[in-house]
Structure 1
């Protein structure tokens, strides 16, 4: 089963509905956005990060129009020396390649050692958009179902008030 099929099957098993948009492969949120114009839901940016020693891993979900201030993230979480994780760490922890990062990578994190964070500005939105572990589709999921998925994968999440 492909990762994409695994995401669809997991959502089906959890009785989570979604809207799917097919498009050519995209590697940035700007590229993806051109294929989902006019569809209701916040466009998310999923950032996979680690500390300098690669002993802690973080998945941050935020509005794709916002820029992350790493120092602010460190202050709010207590994390030290945070940076973007390498493609190798991304593959090892979430089973994904760059350009495909989303909450659905949590399916592949058997160690359950990735800390999940959401920016406060998006959690009140009705729907969120993500790649379903492949960058040739974008799916829109109800925000309540996003949290349902995270809990079903045995993860907790924290909400951050990012500027």
Structure 2
């Protein structure tokens, strides 16, 4: 698997939403490395990508409350499993479940298997609350998809938390999830 510095040389064959991610990262002066790969739908399928980028790609879960009035993007280490009863009191919201693929597309412009913090570019009305596990916050680097699951990028966590989130007008709630 090849590693590239920055954006693809050509946009041919790339989706507009992926290119918007690269445009914003470049505009903000955020350096990143990228790898292209077959579509990966699960964290387990990302192992080869993890090895290429020398990092564990984050698990991104798109959740909602029972009434579907509050939406959450939970970013956590790939090796952790979600315990909703552990998360609910920290946000606070009860009866969390996975949001639909249609809602994921509506609010983040991504499809199932492609959920990513980069999708917040497409949430100008802040309908999605970002939740980040404290273990992710403590890492030097952060890896995710650029709104498609056929590429992955690695960038500094401080750039994501500072420059990127500020540019897309989102804040985050730190959460603590056990392994």
After superposition, where does 1:1-163 map in structure 2 within 5 Å? 2-37=16-51, 39-147=53-161, 148-163=163-178
Q: Which runs of 5+ in 2 are unaligned?
A: 1-14
TM-score of the superposed pair, with normalisation by structure 2: 0.87
Q: What do the CA deviations read for 1:7-54 (whole angstroms, capped 9, x no partner)? A: 000000110010101101111111122233153334200111001111
Higher normalized contact order (CA 8 Å, seq sep 6+, divided by chain length): 1
Q: Contact 2:143 / 2:153 at 8 angstroms: preserved in 1? A: yes
Would the alpha carbon gap of residues 132 and 38 (structure 1) be closer, same or farther in structure 2, given more than 3 Å must change?
A: closer
Distance 1:19 1:10 in 2: 15
Residue-pair matches, total: 163
The DSSP-based 3-state class of the residue aligned with 1:35 is helix
- Conserved in 1, the CA contact under 8 Å of 2:124 and 2:168? no
Q: 2: CA distance between counterparts of 1:162 and 1:98?
A: 23
Question: Cα RMSD over matched residues?
Answer: 1.2
TM-score (structure 1 length as normaliser): 0.95
